[in-house]
């Protein structure tokens, strides 16, 4: 049976946004999924990848696993109530995506095992773990925790468009300021000036892109955020429409029509989170499960988009690219 044959959207109230992966009424494993973004096709694909890591097809648990999904539709203030709802559903663990969901889950279920994915935070500095090797509490997961990585993306867009001097930064404040501060610090060494454009929901995108053009931005760097990860096709379309060469920390951006995507491979990242959750459900102590980093990074360059923008990507990028979309 294909993995998506397991996936069905369960009926329920709009406030709860229930989404379940189940095969029996009394699953052996019941896991909560808490995310800040909407249930877009991209997010549904990430949940499917999480399930592949949690209960791979053919495993003993494959037919006895239920994932109860609560997503906030980019309304961060809904997360505490959604986390409390999950805690009351009898789940054995919660899988939380990004810092706002992590904070909500920790508050709603302080003793429940939490497995998380966060590309924007430092788990130790945030007080969520004593160390990466020995978290010491009820939380483990996958963290990028490499703030300099976002500075690397700034360097790549500089290589792709050598004549630029002004770069727009698309930032979702709920994701935190760690990456933003790193990019701002790195810009002067590359002879670049930056201007930040804040968004909190997809409805803000049009105004943000119009403001970038008005400010004479010559390229765009999209920082990491679940908001952006769930709406990559829309962002790629807007970038092309406004003729802004754009790089994202999500490789899928390049596959969806963006100029360059460079960062952790998201389906693999969610599968990695599923494997960690599986270990917890099999009896591993969360406090002793080391926090992991992404295991696979990809550079995806879209040559079709480059041509539409009148650009020729340099050999340095083409030789480094894992995929070149033509």
DSSP 4: G
- Give SS3 for 216: coil
Scored b (16 or more CB within 10 A) or e, 94-105 reads: bbbbbbbbbbbb
Q: How is the chain split into domains, by residue range?
A: 3-145+265-288, 148-264+297-325
Domain 3-145+265-288 falls in which CATH fold? Rossmann fold (3.40.50)
Give residues with Cβ within 8 angstroms of 266, minimum separation 6.
46, 49, 229, 250, 251, 252
**Predicted TM-score (pTM) of this structure:** 0.84
148-264+297-325 and 3-145+265-288 share a CATH fold: yes
Give residues with Cβ within 8 angstroms of 75, minimum separation 6.
201
The DSSP code sequence of 294-309 is -S-EEEEEEHHHHHHT
CATH architecture of the domain covering 148-264+297-325 = 3-Layer(aba) Sandwich (3.40)
Per-residue pLDDT tens listing for the chain (326 residues) = 444 433 333 323 333 334 444 444 556 899 999 999 988 888 999 999 999 999 998 888 888 899 999 999 989 999 999 999 999 999 999 999 999 999 999 999 999 999 999 988 889 988 999 999 999 999 999 998 666 787 889 999 999 999 999 999 999 998 888 889 989 999 999 999 999 999 999 999 999 999 999 999 999 999 999 899 889 999 999 999 999 999 999 999 999 999 999 999 889 999 999 999 999 999 999 999 999 998 889 999 999 999 999 999 999 999 999 999 98
Q: How far apart are CA 222 and CA 168, in angstroms?
A: 8
């Amino acid at each position: 049976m294909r993995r998506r044959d397991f996936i069905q959207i369960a009926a329920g109230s709009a406030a709860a946004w229930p989404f379940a992966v189940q095969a029996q009424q009394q699953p052996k494993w019941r896991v909560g999924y808490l995310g800040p973004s909407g249930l877009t096709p991209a997010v549904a694909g990430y949940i499917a990848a999480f399930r592949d890591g949690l209960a791979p097809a053919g495993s003993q648990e494959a037919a006895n696993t239920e994932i109860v999904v609560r997503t906030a539709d980019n309304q961060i203030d809904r997360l505490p109530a959604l986390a409390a709802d999950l805690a009351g559903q009898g789940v054995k663990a919660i899988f939380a995506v990004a810092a706002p969901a992590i904070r909500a889950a920790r508050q709603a279920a302080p003793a429940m095992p939490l497995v998380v994915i966060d590309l924007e935070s430092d788990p130790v500095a945030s007080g969520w773990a004593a160390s990466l090797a020995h978290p010491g509490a009820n939380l483990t997961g996958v963290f990028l925790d490499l703030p300099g990585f976002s500075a690397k993306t700034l360097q790549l867009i500089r290589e792709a468009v050598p004549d630029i001097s002004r770069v727009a930064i698309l930032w979702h404040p709920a994701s935190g300021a760690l990456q933003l501060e790193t990019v701002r610090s790195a810009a002067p060494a590359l002879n670049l000036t930056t201007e930040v454009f804040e968004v909190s929901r997809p409805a803000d995108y049009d105004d943000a892109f119009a403001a970038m053009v008005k400010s004479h931005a010559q390229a765009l760097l999209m920082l990491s955020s679940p908001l952006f990860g769930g709406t990559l096709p829309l962002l790629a379309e807007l970038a092309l429409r406004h003729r802004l060469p754009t790089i994202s920390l999500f490789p899928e951006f390049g596959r969806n029509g963006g100029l360059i995507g460079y960062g952790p491979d998201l389906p693999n990242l969610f599968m990695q989170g599923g494997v960690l959750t599986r270990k917890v459900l099999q009896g591993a102590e969360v406090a002793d499960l080391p926090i992991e980093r992404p295991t696979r990074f990809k550079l995806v360059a879209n040559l079709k988009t480059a041509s539409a923008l009148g650009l020729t990507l340099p050999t340095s990028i083409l030789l480094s690219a894992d995929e070149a979309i033509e």
